[in-house]
Amino acid sequence: MKKSGKDYIVFPLDFASIKEAQSHVRLLGPHVGMFKIGLELFIHQGPEVVRMIRNMSAARIFLDLKLHDISTTVFRAMSRVADLGVDLATVHCSSSVKMLEMAVQGACKKVGVLGVTLLTDNDGKTLSKGGFQKQFATDPEKLVMLRAQMAHDAGCTGVVCSGREAAGIKTRFGKKFLTVTPGIRPAWSLTKEDDQKRITTPAQAVLQGSDLLVIGRPIRDAQDPAAAAQKVAAEIETALARSLPA
């Protein structure tokens, strides 16, 4: 079945209360392809959130716990994630290929494992201050590609990267290697103060080959979140239609 604009949208349920999460699942369920459960909601509400989304919506579920620990611990944690019935889960790429392999092993093909390459609120300056080699601080995409290679070698389903890096990753690792892109800012939602740094618009991201776009605040903080999600879906569809050969 052809993917529609809404299928690209991942809405992060960045809330502490199940009530708020529930009301957004109800409101946005018909307008997005996937809900993302992050640390805030999972720490506060636990696996019950997964059951709530399953019962209320046909959207897929992405458990974004961004695991990062010794390989054995990640294996054990991912084995528990695999029992929850979610579609995607994340692990940081910043440790080792071994840790990523153990995450994939723990997932037991029941959940797709995504490697987080470099958070989109990081940039060259952050890398420089963090003690990274100059080649990465001057060109963060190099680090993203290195980490994508690690995720690919370990058998991950794909990576989380910025829209700016999606095309390079697709070219190198093939269409089937998923690219999930946060840091999305539609032109109508741009503000001067934003913690996200390596940002792209929804149109730019899909044209670069992003498979899924994590879009939080531009939708959540809009006056009419459902209308904002529909607007993003329309932007995606228009961009993809224009990119097709005449």
The residue ranges that bind ligand C5P (CB under 6 A) are 12, 14, 36, 38, 64, 119-120, 160, 182-183, 196, 214-217
Residue that the structure tokens 């840790």 belong to: 99
In sequence order, the β-bridge partners of residue 11 are: 35
- For residues 106 and 163, which CB has a smaller minimum distance to ligand C5P in the complex? 163
Positions of E strands within the chain? 9-12, 34-37, 60-67, 88-92, 112-116, 158-160, 178-181, 212-214
Q: Distance (Å, rounded) from C-alpha 22 to C-alpha 38? A: 14
DSSP β-bridge partners for residue 9: 213
Other beta carbons within 10 Å of 122: 19
CA distance 154 to 120: 22
Nearest distance, CB of residue 27 and ligand C5P, angstroms:
16
Count CB atoms within 10 A of the CB of residue 130.
10
**At its nearest, how many Å lie between ligand C5P and the CB of residue 246?**
34
Q: Which is nearer to ligand C5P, 106 or 115 (CB)?
A: 115
22 vs 105, which CB is nearer to ligand C5P?
Answer: 22
Q: Whole-number minimum distance, CB 244 to ligand C5P, in Å?
A: 28
Is 109 a known active-site residue?
no
The sign of the torsion formed by the CA atoms of 218, 15, 6, 202 equals positive
Catalytic hit among 2, 3, 6, 66? 66
CB of 207 to ligand C5P, least distance (A): 19
Between 106 and 140, whose beta carbon lies closer to ligand C5P?
A: 140
Active site residues: 66
